[in-house]
Amino acid sequence: MAHENSYTVTGMTCGHCAASVTEEVEEIAGVRDVTVDHESGSLTFASDEPVSREAVEAAVTEAGYQLA
pLDDT score for 18: 98
Q: Where are the beta strands (DSSP E) in the chain?
A: 3-10, 31-37, 42-47, 66-67
Query: For residue 9, how many C-alpha atoms fall within 13 Å in the half-sphere facing its CB?
Result: 33
Query: How far is 40 from 56, CA to CA, in rounded Å?
Result: 18
Domain containing residue 31: CATH number: 3.30.70.100
Give the structural domain span for 15: 3-67
pLDDT tens-digit readout, 39-56: 999 999 999 999 999 999
pLDDT score for 2: 85
Our count of domains for the chain comes to 1
Ranges under pLDDT 70 in the chain: none
**Closest Cα partner for 63 from 3, 30, 34, 51?**
34
- The pTM of this model reads 0.94
Angle CA(41)–CA(47)–CA(10) in degrees, nearest 5? Answer: 15
